[in-house]
Structure formats: C-alpha cells, structure tokens
Structure 1
Amino acid sequence: MKNSIAERIADFLKNFPPFFSLIYTELVAISNEIQVIHVEKNHVLFKIGDKTHPFFYIVKEGAIGLSVTSDAEETLIDKCDEGDILGLRPFFAKDNYLMTAKAREESLLYAIPIEVFKPYVSQNAEVLNFLLESFASNTRNPYDKENKGKLISENVIYTEQSSEIQYFQPISYTKTPITASGKDIVKFVAQTMSQSKIGSVIIQENNLPVGIVTDKDLRSKIATGLFPIDIPVNQIMSAPVITVPENISIAETQMMMLKHNVGHLCVTVDGTNKSKIMGIISEHDVVVAQANNPGVLLKQTKRATRSKELKAVREKLNDLIQNSLDKNIPIQHISSLVGEINIAITKRAVELAIEKMEKEPPTRFAWMNIGSQGRKEQLLMTDQDNALVFEDVEEQHYDDVKKYFLELAEKVTKTLHKVGYEFCPAEMMANNPMWCKSVTDWNKQYNSWINKPGEKGILMCSIFFDYDFIVGDASLVDLISENIFANVHNNQLFYAYLGTDALKNPPPLGFFRQFLVEEDGEHKDTFDIKSRALMPLIDAARLLVLSQAIKGINNTYQRYKKLAELEPQNADLFESCAEAFSTLTLFRTEEGLANNNNGRYLNLNELSKSDKVKLKNAFQPIRAIQDAIKNRFQLTYFT
C-alpha cells in the first residue's frame, strides 16, 4: 500500500541537498521513518549542552535560529529556512550540542533518524560531502569581552575553559600514504585498500603524484560495471590530484577541499605535483582536527543572490582579519584564507552576472584577477583589477563575442563595486575593451610588452604579470602562461628593463637611518609603505620567478619560499625577504583596519620605538635583494 504522507515528504526532500542526490525510492523509504514536528515560536528544539538527539532536522516551514549564549546574552549565529538542515552533530561527534536551536517563528520540521539515514551517507559520496561541509555552524566568539560578537573563524571550538583558535593550526595528516603505479591492476589496488582499511591510494610516477583512486572511484566505475576490474588503475584514477604543502593549516585544508570539490589532498614537499609525495589529507582528518567547521562564509557566498549578500560576507571577513590579528595568527595564513574568500566572492559575482544576461556565454572564457588580487595579497578593501580572456573565434563573430563579454564584465565590475571593491582609477578592469580579448590578442599584447619593453610596457608588467584564474575555462589562462614563459626565456633585454624597474625604489631610509616620508600633498610626513617598502620586494620576486620559469606561484611570500628551495646557496636572502614581506604586510593591514582605509600611508608618530625598529629591520632585505638583482642581471649600466 502506498503511503501518501511519505510520498509528500519525499517530494519535498528531493528539491534540496543532499536529498536530491538520492533516488526517489530511497527518499520514500527514508520518509516512512521521518517524524513531523511542530515547533511553536520561541520554543527551543535543543540547547547548548544538551545530549544529541537520535535525529537531525530539515526545516519544512518557518525558521530556526542557531545561537550561542554568554553572560546571559544570546548571539544569533545562523538562521535555517526552508530546506536547511540542522542538528548534524550526532553524525560526526559524540559530545553534546554546542549551540541552541530555537524557533524564530512557528515552524514545521522533519526529524530524520540518524540510524536510518547513515547507510545512505556511507553509500553516497555526494551526501557525505554535503554533510561534512554543513557540519555545525558559523560561530562568533561569545567569551571575548572586548570584541563580543565579532567573527573570528568558522573553525573555532569554544568551551568555558578555552577559546583557542584551532583553525590556523597545521593539520595532522597521514605521513606514510599508500601509493601505486599507474600500471598496477585495479583489482590489486582495491585489495590493498581493503587490507589496509584506507579509502584512497595515490597514483605516482617516480614518487610524483599523477592521480588518486578513492572508494568513490571503485563504486562509480568498477562496481557499476562501467570498467572491468583487471585494467590498469590509471584508467579509472581521478587526475590531476590536488596537491598542498606539508604545513597547510586546517583553514586552508577545508578551503582547498571546498574550492576543488574533493575529499582528499596530496601533501608534497613544495605543494605542487612536481615534488615528492609526503602524505595525504582526508575529510576525516579535517573533522578530527576540528569538530565544528562548516565554512559558512563560503556557504553564504555560494548562496548569495544579490550584491548586498556578498557585501555582508566581505564585511564579516574584515572582522575575521581583525580578530585573527588579535590572536597573533601568522599574516601569511590570514592572507591565504582571505584570498580564497575574495576569489569566491568574485566567482559568485561572475555567476550572478551570467544569470542576468539574456543568453549563455557564446564561447569559452576565463575571468582573471590581476595585480594584488592576482597575488592573493588583497587583505584590505582596495580597488579591483581584473581581465577577461575568451577563446579564439572566427573573425566575423569576433565583435559580437567581445560585445557580449564586455557587457558581462560591466555587470561583474558593478557588482564588485557594490560589494566594496572600488573601480580601478586606471580602468584596468575587464569591462575596458583593452583588457577583454581573445587568447590570440592577449598573446600579442604580452609579446609586445615582453619584446618591446618601453616604460609603459614595464608598467603593465607589474600588474598583468601577476594574474590568477578565477572562473571559466582555466586552459585559456594556461595558453597565455605558456606563451609568456616561451617569450621571456633567456630574454635579456626584457629582464634588463624589468630589473631596472625593480630597482626604481631603493631602501626607504635616508642618512642616519631616517625614514623617507612624503614631502608634500595630502599624505605629507607619512610613510608610503606600499611604494617604498612592499613594491620593491614584490617587483623583485616577480622578476626572479619569471627568470626561473616558476609557474603557478603568484603570492610574493610563496615566491620567495620557492626561490629559497630552488637556490639553497641564497636561501637566507630569500627567507629574509619572505619574512620582511610578512612584517610589512602586517604593518599595512593593522594601519588599514585601525583607520578604515587601505593602510598605505603610515603615521610614524603613532608607532612605538620598538615598532619603528621592527619596521626598519624589515627594510634590510630590500637592499640585499636589489644588489643580488644588479649582479644577476648585470644592471650596473642601467641603474
């Protein structure tokens, strides 16, 4: 006999994640076990410290607020509306609830038994991934009396005894991963996984990662009969495998998993697939490391339907930066996290713009961030710099295709402006016809800058040679990169011009170690930390990675770290440059947050004596790296 109530519940569930990943008969079977709960306004479903229920819940109608309470003050963390899930703690942790769930209006909930749903989680990787990402909720620090209510991170576990930030701690991972050759037979790899009780095997060639095989691959490709079990494993592996450095933090780990929609990360010596395998990180490692991290800022970004919602995310990000600094979190970790969320905001802005267009993109394209955004160094709210590349099309279609993408870029840049990213005064944005081109036209543009490096060309090199793919088709950006490195190889004239430009700002100290400050204008007597201190290090790093053909590393700090690895004889110099860059970035960030600006100009009178000494010490590597550039590129006669 049909159960019409169960079918109505199933019809509701099928519209929401993770239930839409299940087949209808499975939904009906689950719905037969579901309890329907009516919750009056202000009624508490569960509160902090309660033992976990045998159910988790999905909101059918109404709204449930999630909150924490301290000193009798309730702080709302998140609001669950129709289709939202709450109460997932029993899936992943045995301890009691860490938040209170209270109806903000009269609500109807479906209570889904944990034991009934667990088999579907283990059988469906998409369901598991969703639950992991949704586990618990964003939280604010209720125990920080000076900054009550300010967002610290999504990965913090609060207790009465401790509010230690675990989010930025290095994650523990498996340091002896099981590996296999791409030529190994699937059957034997599967047997190894079963015997070792592991869910993944890294596929390697010469101890370099080339792919990965997981339980999901075996279920979806072998168990279904799509592939036979006696074929080489490289025919079913997922490739490329996403690689990360061995000191990656919990925050960065989850961001990478969310960004690439994967459940495993391969740890290598330098974080690329060109270096030795060191270990593997799984979603389980993230859950074990911190039991309460949903990545809510990313969740809110992905759900945003208006620029106002994206702006709210960016404003919360400012709170995250401030509170992370208060906790002495390393600035490079903060920069990495903020960079990923900035990327997510830009990506969503592009997606929303496409939705507003009358038709889909006429051809493949890629949106790029350039300049400081391209280096993931935009901690503070500064102007936007971006560009767009679309694939080559027939000449008769070129104008129409370019017109479409210029209109799209106009919508994106306006959205980003509303979020808080100011328009670039120099109009270095994708809505400018000069910076919206086909692959061929972009290659011609770069070739002109490289092979005819005049003053204007070198200026563009300082912006357009720091770029980062955001959304679209990454292969188009790869084509540009390949062209750039082919043209700069052994191009001594180009390096001479670029090197000369890198030397234009000498160390910012005059006689008797006095700061060189602005002599007139709006910022008279202040110190320009961007032009006088940060840019010399940024320019030097860019020149050196281009000359070394180092691809895929855009961040200045990471560039120096990579150079230190490649040139052990100069490691001390490059390490000192990396640390100096971090110190200077910290000064600028603190200045910007304190004065609600971009932090470019420091009021030296407000610095303590020890801070002035620290700032001056950060200038020392500038002279050393500029001397090294003069010698390496023989620039004596150019400077």
Structure 2
Amino acid sequence: MKNTIAERIQDFLKQFPPFSMLSKEELLKVAGQIRVLYLEKGAYVFEQDEKCHDEFYIVREGAVGLYRNSENSQNLVDICDAGDLFGLRIMIIKKNYRMAALASQESIVYAIPSSVFKPFIDENKEVNTFLLETFATHARNYYTETEKGKRIDNTISIDTAKDLSTLRTISYRKKPLTCTADAIVKDIAMEMNARKADAIIVVDEQKFPIGILTDSDLRAKVATGLFSATAVVTEVMTAPVKTYAKKITVAEAQIALIKNNISHLCITKDGTRNSKTVGVFSNHDLLVSFGNNPSILIKEIKRVKKIQRLRYIRKQVERLLTTYLEQDIPTMHILNLISEINDALVIRTIELSLEEMPSQPTVAFNFLVLGSQGRREQLLMTDQDNAIVFEDVEEAMYDETQTYFLELARIVTKNLHAIGFEYCPAEMMASNPRWCMSLSKWEEQFRTWMTTPSEESTLLSSIFFDFQSVYGDADMSNQLSDVVFDGVNKSKRFLGLLGVSALQKPSPLGFFKQFLVEQNGEHKDTFDIKTRAMMVLIDGARILALYHNLKGINNTLLRYEKLASLEPNNKELFESCAKAFRVLLKFRARQGILHKDSGRFIQLNTLSKNDKLKLKRCFKPIRDIQEVLRIRFQLKTFM
C-alpha cells in the first residue's frame, strides 16, 4: 500500500537541497521516517542549553526563529522559513543547543532522524559538501572574546574585503609565537602581550608541537591562582595540541574548532604532530573569514553551476540585509552592497541561461533591469522588471532574431523566479514581446511615449526610464538614455505630464492627520508605503533629474544629493526628501523581513506609536516636493 503522507513529504523535500541531491527511492526512504510537528505560535522545537535531539529539522510551512538568550533578553539570530534547515549541529557533535528554536507563527516542521540521513552524508559527496557549507556558515558565533563582545564587521567595503568562501583553504597566521618546554608562564605572558598574540605553541627541538597555551588558559588557570605565574609552561599548557595540514578548508576548520571545543588549531607541515609547526588558526581568524562579507557571496555566485544554488545564496543576502539594518549601517552603503549582489545574481543567471540555449546569440544584446533594481534601490525580493535590447538586423531576420531572444528571456525570467524574484504581474519582463525589441524599435517606442503621451505611456515611462544595463553591450543602453534626454529637451510638456502623475498619487494622511489605508481588495485596511509615500519622492527626483539632464544618475538618494548642489535655494528641501526616503527604505525593509513579504502593505496596528510618528515625519517633504513640481511645471494647466 502506498504511503501517501510520505509521498507528499517527498514532493516537498525534493525542491530543496540537500534532498534534491538524492534519488527518488532514497528520498522516499527518508520521507517515510520523518515526524511531522504541528507548532502553535510560541512553541519551542528545542530550547537553548537543551541536549541535542537525534534529529534535525526543515520548515514545511510558517516560520521558526532561532534565538540566543542573554542575561536579560532573547535575541533573534535568524528566521527559518519554508525549505530552511536548522538543528544541524547533531550531525557533527553531541552537545547542548546553543540557541533556541521557537515558532514565530503557526508552523509545520519536519523532524528528520539523523540515523536515517547520516548514510547519505557519508556516501553522497554532493550532500556532504552542501551540509558542510551550511553548517560552517550558520554555526559561527557573532562575537569574539578578544574584541570584548564587539561585533566583527568587514561588510562595509567590497574593494577591501577578502576573497573567501567556505570551501577555500584557510588563511592561517604564519610564523606563530612559539616557546620551548622549559619556558616560564610569566615570561610567556609578557611575550604574548608584547606581540599581541592570543596563543603560543610549545615546541620541541625540531619545532614539532607538543602543546599550546592560550589567553583563555592564562585567565582560567593562572589568573585564578590554580597555577603560579612562575610555573613551567608544560604544567599549564593544553596537550596534545590539535594539528591540521595547510590545505584544510575554512568549513573544515570551523567544524574542527567546534567538534574539539577549542579556540586554536596548530598548522603543521604535513598535518601531524610529528612535523614542523608552520602556523596557527584561531576562532578569531575564522570569524574574520566568515564575517558578513558581500564579496564571499559574489565570489560564490560567480562559481555557481546550478540555479538552485543561487536561491540558497539569495537567502543569505536576506540575512546579510538583516545584519546591516541591525547595525544601522548607512542607507547608501546598504543599497550599494545589496545592489552589487543582485546584479551578480542576474548576471550569473543570464550566463547559466545562455548555456541552456541551443546556440549562442548571433548579434549583440543588452539585458536591462528596470524600476527599483534599475535605481539600485531593491533591498527586498520584489517583482521582476526587465527588458532586452538587441542589435538592429535586416527586416527579413527580425522575427527570427526576436524569437531567439524571447526564448532566452523566457529561460532567464524562469530562472530568476526560481531564485526568488517573482514574476511581474503586469508582465513587464523581457519575455514579453513588447519589451524585447531591437535598438531602433526601442528608440522609436521611447520617442512615441514622449511626443504623443497617454496615461499608459506616462506610467510606462516612469518605470522604463529608470533602466540600468547589467549584461551585454552597455552602449545600447547609453543610446537609449540619449534618446530620453533629447526628447525631454525638445519638449518640457512631457515632464509636466509626469508631474501630474506624481501629484495624483494617493495621499498618505487624511484631513485629521490620520493614516489613509486601502479601502478594499486583498490589502484592505493596510497602509501602502510604496504608493502613498515612496513613489512621490522617487517620481519627484526622476522628473527633476530629467529637467536638469542628470545622465547616469538613477538612484533617488543620489539624485536628491545632486539636485541640492544644482539648486541651492531648494537645498534644504532636497536634503529633507533624501532623509525621508532613507527612513522609508529602511522601514519598508524591516517590515518585509519581519513579515516575510515585500514590506509594501503595513498593518498599522502592529506599529508602535514611535514608529507611526517616524512615518508621519516623512510625509511633509512629500507635500513639499509636490508643490515644487506644481509650480515649476505650472501643473494646474494640465489637470
């Protein structure tokens, strides 16, 4: 008799790694042994310091938060939603949980016995590698003892960040501090302090390691009085020391440190204690390696061979964004970093999609991203907005050429959807023949929108005129940009019509200063932060950028920064618009992360009084920028 429950579990699991790496028969065997947990909101899967279970978990529906308890608070470390694994420590060690797993909402979780899945880890190299990466990435601590609880942060600069990944070999400290077996602890401590070292390797005459003394040993054994400062190092050191070869990977080093409950690894010439000491690798070095560094993700993106792996990386980007918001990193910095990663994801998706095509393109083309991604303002996963421009061809070849690029676009948009970029409901994607055309037809389309505008063309212009080249021949996008600015310079009437659209956006507040919410539909009684607040600021910056011929500046914050220098009399207004937009961007991102959605529609009853006041303070610049547009383009004549 068929086990229909197991088959349903199997159908779910096969969508996600590492289960997608198993055969149908293997996966059905695993599914048949799974326990299904139905969790009410607030129910624990396990608690901090609880003994590890003989199973790990994957979220089927809902969300499970991972929390680390401190003396007076419970701090959210991560949120796992559908397809996310947690509780993997049991695969490596048998120690108490370092975090609690708590259902953030009503959830269904699958509990997978370690005894059932362990054979696949041992025998399936792909599964083993995936779990090794996952464990090493998520098991790290966020703080380092040597920095007294200060969070390590090397997220700020892509240029200066190290090129790391979980599977590359470690960068250990060469020429480590060493001493002989007859050294005195006091002398060693002074030497460690002078050299700012957190450990010293005790070696014999051949430089073979026989033990290690760390700063934690000094605190626990000497500072407490258990041993005298005049003791010989062999009395206090930890022995035998754990040794590894130079080619150990970052992920393997992470596991070795946790499995052995140690803070340092001794690196020797051949990896054994019977060879020369060549370096040391510590928890601190590991934390630097695993610091929330966008270059790690970008490097991994470039190496990815399968689309499914890109989805896994994109989930890490969400965690990265959460960290940035928690650390209150400057908004422009967050936008730049997340945009670089998003661009890398799109580029790699196109490259992998081209490999799926039966042949390579015979003419040059340019893949454009539009809207929020085109403005480099897409922090959360939102709808796709993209287009393809291809080189002009003879009329007889046009249909064949367009058909090729439409098929490429279909594969690209499908793969982007698999990563997590939702399809555009209005089909403003390159897979739509309207948005996959030759350069000359795009130029003709842009000119038509500006010379004979309509309600639809005004709307489309506000989306398509914020385009950015991410792949292919960027000269094509530059030519389109020239067409836009040439059309604007010939007729300011078009800007006036764009201005009317900005003035007609629904107001955020009513007559009595209350929030105006949606009156019907799916999002009834919610506040639309995008349409009622952000879009007016975006529209105002775009219209004035076109008015001043600001080529190559699509980002709303950068547009206001440039406008402030061009119009000193309106500097204060433009700066207040930029400030309001920064607040709204971060507010929407936090709401999206909290509720696992786009953050666009906000339940006002979930906001604190302080949050509501912050939002309302952002609305004055909206009215002011609308007034600037009204006066400058004499919009009463258009209404």
- Relative to the length of structure 1, the TM-score reads 0.57
Q: What residue in structure 2 maps to residue 630 of structure 1?
A: 630
The 3-state SS of whatever aligns with 1:637 is helix
Distance (whole Å) between structure 1 residues aligned to residue 420 and residue 612 of structure 2: 32
**Aligned AA (1:440):** S
Q: Is structure 2 residue 351 aligned with structure 1 residue 351?
A: yes
Distance (whole Å) between structure 2 residues aligned to residue 610 and residue 487 of structure 1: 45
The 3-state SS of whatever aligns with 2:552 is coil
Q: Is structure 2 residue 440 aligned with structure 1 residue 440?
A: yes
State the 1:358 CA deviation.
Answer: 1.6
* Deviates most, 318-327 or 329-338: 329-338
- 1:516/1:527 contact within 8 Å kept: yes
Identical residues among aligned pairs (%): 47
* Deviates most, 420-429 or 163-172: 163-172
Cα distance change on mapping 1:564 and 1:170 into 2, 3 Å: farther
- 1:151/1:323 contact within 8 Å kept: no
- 1:141/1:151 contact within 8 Å kept: no
Distance (whole Å) between structure 1 residues aligned to residue 393 and residue 476 of structure 2: 13
State the 1:72 CA deviation.
Answer: 8.8
1:487-526 alpha-carbon deviations (Å, 9 max, x no partner): 1114122111111011112541112211111122222221
**Aligned AA (1:456):** E
1:541-587 alpha-carbon deviations (Å, 9 max, x no partner): 11111111101111111111111122222111111101101111111
Q: What residue in structure 2 maps to residue 300 of structure 1?
A: 300
Q: What residue in structure 2 maps to residue 341 of structure 1?
A: 341
State the 1:296 CA deviation.
Answer: 1.1
Distance (whole Å) between structure 2 residues aligned to residue 546 and residue 399 of structure 1: 34
Gaps of 5+ in 2: 1-91, 100-120, 124-131, 161-287
Q: What residue in structure 1 maps to residue 406 of structure 2?
A: 406
Q: Is structure 2 residue 585 aligned with structure 1 residue 598?
A: no
Cα distance change on mapping 1:506 and 1:431 into 2, 3 Å: closer
Cα distance change on mapping 1:150 and 1:403 into 2, 3 Å: farther
1:16-71 alpha-carbon deviations (Å, 9 max, x no partner): xxxxxxxxxxxxxxxxxxxxxxxxxxxxxxxxxxxxxxxxxxxxxxxxxxxx99x9
Q: What residue in structure 2 maps to residue 549 of structure 1?
A: 549
Distance (whole Å) between structure 1 residues aligned to residue 507 and residue 152 of structure 2: 37
Gaps of 5+ in 1: 1-67, 76-103, 107-136, 143-147, 174-289
The 3-state SS of whatever aligns with 1:489 is helix
Q: Is structure 2 residue 611 aligned with structure 1 residue 614?
A: no
**Aligned AA (1:161):** K
1:250-281 alpha-carbon deviations (Å, 9 max, x no partner): xxxxxxxxxxxxxxxxxxxxxxxxxxxxxxxx
Distance (whole Å) between structure 2 residues aligned to residue 384 and residue 151 of structure 1: 35
The 3-state SS of whatever aligns with 1:362 is coil
Q: Is structure 2 residue 173 aligned with structure 1 residue 167?
A: no
- 2:368/2:469 contact within 8 Å kept: yes
Detail structure 1 runs of 4+ shifted over 4 Å in the superposition. Answer: 71-75, 137-142, 148-152, 156-160, 168-173, 290-294
- 1:151/1:320 contact within 8 Å kept: no
Cα distance change on mapping 1:171 and 1:432 into 2, 3 Å: closer
* Deviates most, 528-537 or 553-562: 553-562
State the 1:161 CA deviation.
Answer: 2.1
1:154-176 alpha-carbon deviations (Å, 9 max, x no partner): xx988552443543558999xxx
Q: What residue in structure 2 maps to residue 320 of structure 1?
A: 320
Q: What residue in structure 2 maps to residue 586 of structure 1?
A: 586
**Aligned AA (1:385):** D
Q: Is structure 2 residue 573 aligned with structure 1 residue 573?
A: yes
The 3-state SS of whatever aligns with 1:553 is coil
The 3-state SS of whatever aligns with 2:367 is strand
Distance (whole Å) between structure 2 residues aligned to residue 354 and residue 138 of structure 1: 28
Q: What residue in structure 2 maps to residue 477 of structure 1?
A: 477
- 2:383/2:421 contact within 8 Å kept: yes
**Aligned AA (2:151):** E
- 1:304/1:310 contact within 8 Å kept: yes
Q: Is structure 2 residue 549 aligned with structure 1 residue 562?
A: no
Aligned residues: 393
The 3-state SS of whatever aligns with 1:534 is helix
State the 1:324 CA deviation.
Answer: 1.5
Distance (whole Å) between structure 1 residues aligned to residue 620 and residue 146 of structure 2: 43
- 2:507/2:516 contact within 8 Å kept: no
- 1:375/1:466 contact within 8 Å kept: yes
Q: What residue in structure 2 maps to residue 504 of structure 1?
A: 504
Q: What residue in structure 2 maps to residue 534 of structure 1?
A: 534
1:136-189 alpha-carbon deviations (Å, 9 max, x no partner): x999999xxxxx74898xxx988552443543558999xxxxxxxxxxxxxxxx
- 1:366/1:389 contact within 8 Å kept: yes
